[in-house]
Amino acid sequence: MTSRENEHPHELISAYLDGEAASSERQMVEMHLRGCAECRTLLDDLRRLALAASAEIPPPVPAGLAARIRWRLPRQEPKRGEVRRRPWWRAPLPLSAAASLVLAVCVVWMLRGELRLAQGQPELRASKLLIDATVAQEAPDAPQGSGVDERVRQPSGHIQELFGQETVSSASDPETTKGEVESRTALAAVIPEDLGEAVLGEVSGDELSERKDATAKIPLQRMKLRKVEKESRRSREMTGQREEQAAPEPKVTSYDQPTPAEQPQSSRRVSKEEPVDEARIYPEGTRDQERYGDLQILGRSYADLMTLAPGVTDTDGDGNLNVRGAREVDFSVRTGTVRAGTKLKESAAFPMGAQVIVEFPDHHIAISDTGLISIKIGDYACSVQVEGETPSEARMESPAKPRAISSIFALAASLESHMNDEVSGAVEHFQTAGFGESARRITLQDAAGQTVRRLHYAGTSVPPPAAEIERRLLGLVRERYRNEIEKACGPLPQLEEASD
Amino acid sequence: MRTLSPTRGMLGGVSGGRLPAAAGEQTLIERARAGDRQAFDRLMEAHLSRVWDRVWRILRHREDCEDVVQEVFLTAYRSLPQFRGESSLSTWLARIATTRALNQIERAAEKVRRASEPLEESVGYPALSATGNPGTGGPRLAPTPLQELEARELRRRLSECLSQLPANWRVILSLRDVDSLAYEEISHIVGIALGTVRSRLARARIALRHCIRGETS
């Protein structure tokens, strides 16, 4: 704690603001506030900041974000109990290996005839190498001396002999699939036209194992290797074995990031993340969803909100706001073609009946700053007084006890700053077409029933504050106070989410 | 709770229209859990805006927000079978969003990237320049008592100054001032001690106030 903190208990004042100070702390703060004008100003400022922060409107959701999310979602998930069939090339190892073996034998069989034509009837050790190598891979536990050439029991070692270290490193690369190793081994063995002169053609039988100076022919061998790899790729293409399909499935984290190939360019960075350690973020015993179960929408008392506006002060200190000066100017604005212009009467600062009314094509919702929520959906109509929202309680309780409704009033009071041509167009639409398919209207009335803000809009031209008002209002009705409403008036009909 | 007649009240005289034909959210959830992508799409569209808002309030960085919001819905899609319905879907999504945003903060080494360590390190209450570095660079806000700021100017300065706060302060401010969570709940969500919530919140508010007032110290 700093000396400044000792002098002015900022942390306690902050906790006091939130109603989180203990009883003794509260007394201490109140005693300090009585004698410290600086801290009274601080408390007032912190309250203003909290209110302003709660009324802040984030930028709109970027266009196309929903589409990008859809794109990243996995394909249609199988229903419970349904087993997804894999393509044969992604089948478990034994099956794919068996398929590789069949393929290799076919290739050998085809080439064998050509070789016999080209070279007379040489003994095709290559084909034996191929088959032995494949068998050795498929049966790694086969007993020694079981007829499988020991040199091909470890194909990569054998390739090392043939192609030098570089090839081995490639073949042993974890990125290199087993199928590729097999394929390289096989093709190296069965293309004597390419490699025969360099390796296989000159070396046969047991001489092969004695040949240790293959490094002298590495440049040529590398060239040959490239040919082999080219042939290998061609072979895979012919057989429909795409390389990525043959690759092992990517490791799936707990959050199941898609493979880089599946991601849009802009989001690849995300895929490199570490798995989330939620245990750190959610300590033991705090993961139950009840912890989050009663999120309040936001907001504070209307009286507090009105203090955000310039010119609204409590000059006589009686707890009631005095509206002067700039506030009158602030309210004398044009809202589209609707002249608001109504000066806020002082009575509106007494939170006894000012209301925000949102009229959708299908339903209407109104809230008053006394905590009265009214809903009209077709034949369903309900008004309930929700607890904890009355102004008297707001005054009695902690000065910053959150109020969900008041923030909606703050947003409604800010509507004029978001007027634009689109909105003006919506006003015209509203005036000509009335409540059409998408026309909506938000009205802020003071306690005397006079309109101080009115905004018409339609279609996609929804100003951010209006969208936010809709969202919060629907949140109050559908979630926060749903039980109260349904208890009073029966099940609530489905409310359509306001479109952005 | 005082109940009024269903036919009375502020909207009693307003004529209603047809009922929306949207399927209930619970039905959509059940269908999505069974693997119905269209159902999940509808849920996603319904909740995208509020998830975006929550993440943005914490990160205040458009690209990061986009990444995190995508992660939130990918996570939700895969975790939907474990969603027990003990809380609402929006609450569940909000929790995932908070977690993922916090995780993003760590991943991105936010403190370094936004050069906001001086705020955290300082024991006093520095004023922030527009760049977040006390006393250096960027246009400085004119010193103005908060009470004298017009509402619009207050909102503008608030937005600017919030962006300069360390993200782990913004998380707490958002959870407190926007979601109105109790300190204990914030403590559980963020994974810090109750006392740290209290002190960090106070420091964040004081720093924010100084920033908005444009004070040097």
pLDDT digits (tens, 9 = 90+) for A422-457: 445 555 554 454 445 566 778 777 766 677 777 777
| Residues of B in Cβ contact (< 8 Å) with A70 | 41, 44
Q: Please list the helix, strand and coil fractions of chain A in percent, rounded to the nearest 5, in that order.
A: 50, 10, 40
Q: Scan for tokens 């894999």, then name that residue.
A: A86
Compute the nearest-CA separation of A225 from chain B (Å). 43
Note whether A308 contacts B151, CB cutoff 8 Å: yes
Note whether B57 contacts A58, CB cutoff 8 Å: yes
**pLDDT category, A105, cuts 50, 70, 90?**
confident
For residue B62, what pLDDT is reported? 86
Lowest mean pLDDT among A20-34, B53-67, B117-131: B117-131
pLDDT digits over B184-214, tens only? Answer: 888 887 778 999 999 999 999 999 998 888 8
Angle of CA points B140, B143, B148, to nearest 5°:
130
Note whether B1 contacts A362, CB cutoff 8 Å: no
Is A406 a residue whose pLDDT tops 90? Answer: no
Lowest mean pLDDT among A243-257, A346-360, B171-185: A243-257
For residue A326, what pLDDT is reported? 30
Which has more pLDDT, A22 or A186?
A22
CB A264 within 8 A of CB A71: yes
Note whether B198 contacts A59, CB cutoff 8 Å: no
Query: Which among B10, B45, B55, B209 is the top mutation candidate for probing chain A, defined by the most A β-carbons within 10 Å of its own β-carbon?
Result: B10
pTM for this predicted structure: 0.40
For residue A75, what pLDDT is reported? 65
**Helix or strand or coil: residue A253?**
coil
**Residues in B 17-56 with any Cβ partner in A closer than 8 A:** 17-20, 22-24, 34-35, 37, 40-41, 44-46, 48-50, 52-53, 56
Is B215 a residue whose pLDDT tops 90? Answer: no
Backbone angles phi, psi at A320, to 5 degrees: -105, 140
Compute the nearest-CA separation of B46 from chain A (Å). 6
CA distance A444 to A424: 18
- Burial group, residue A73, by CB count within 10 angstroms (0-12, 13-18, 19+): buried
* Of B37, B179, B4, nearest in space to A479 by CA: B179
* Of A183, A166, A172, A64, nearest in space to A130 by CA: A183
Which has more pLDDT, A201 or B191?
B191
Q: What is the mean pLDDT of residues B114-141?
A: 41
Note whether A58 contacts B199, CB cutoff 8 Å: no
CA distance B104 to A438: 37
**pLDDT category, B92, cuts 50, 70, 90?**
confident
The chain A residue lying nearest B9, using CA atoms, is A383
| Residues of B in Cβ contact (< 8 Å) with A325 | none
Q: Give the list of residues 6+ apart from residue B105 with CB closer than 8 angstroms, or none.
A: B58, B59, B167, B168, B171
Is A378 a residue whose pLDDT tops 60? Answer: yes
CA distance A391 to A18: 17
**pLDDT category, A93, cuts 50, 70, 90?**
low
Highest-scoring range by mean pLDDT, A127-131, A433-437, B146-150: B146-150
The token pair that represents A71 in the structure block: 């794109």
**pLDDT category, B164, cuts 50, 70, 90?**
confident
Angle of CA points A258, A263, A267, to nearest 5°:
105
C-alpha count within 13 angstroms, C-beta hemisphere, residue A340? 28
ipTM of the complex: 0.71
Highest-scoring range by mean pLDDT, A215-219, B78-82, B130-134: B78-82
Q: Give the list of residues 6+ apart from residue A131 with CB closer than 8 angstroms, or none.
A: A104, A105, A108
Note whether B94 contacts A49, CB cutoff 8 Å: no
For residue B155, give the nearest of A56, A256, A310 by CB distance: A56
Which has more pLDDT, A252 or B172?
B172
Q: What is the mean pLDDT of residues A187-202?
A: 35
CA distance A174 to A263: 23
Which has more pLDDT, A240 or A201?
A240
Compute the nearest-CA separation of B78 from chain A (Å). 8
Q: What is the DSSP letter of A263?
A: S
CA distance B27 to B46: 14
A358 bridge partner residues: A365, A442
Q: What is the mean pLDDT of residues A275-293?
A: 41
Q: What is the mean pLDDT of residues A489-496?
A: 77
| Residues of A in Cβ contact (< 8 Å) with B103 | 273, 276, 281
Q: Work out the mean pLDDT of chain A and round it to a whole number.
A: 56
Angle of CA points B158, B164, B170, to nearest 5°:
75
Query: Which among A41, A44, A72, A73 is the top mutation candidate for probing chain B, defined by the most B β-carbons within 10 Å of its own β-carbon?
Result: A73
Widest CA span in chain A: 116
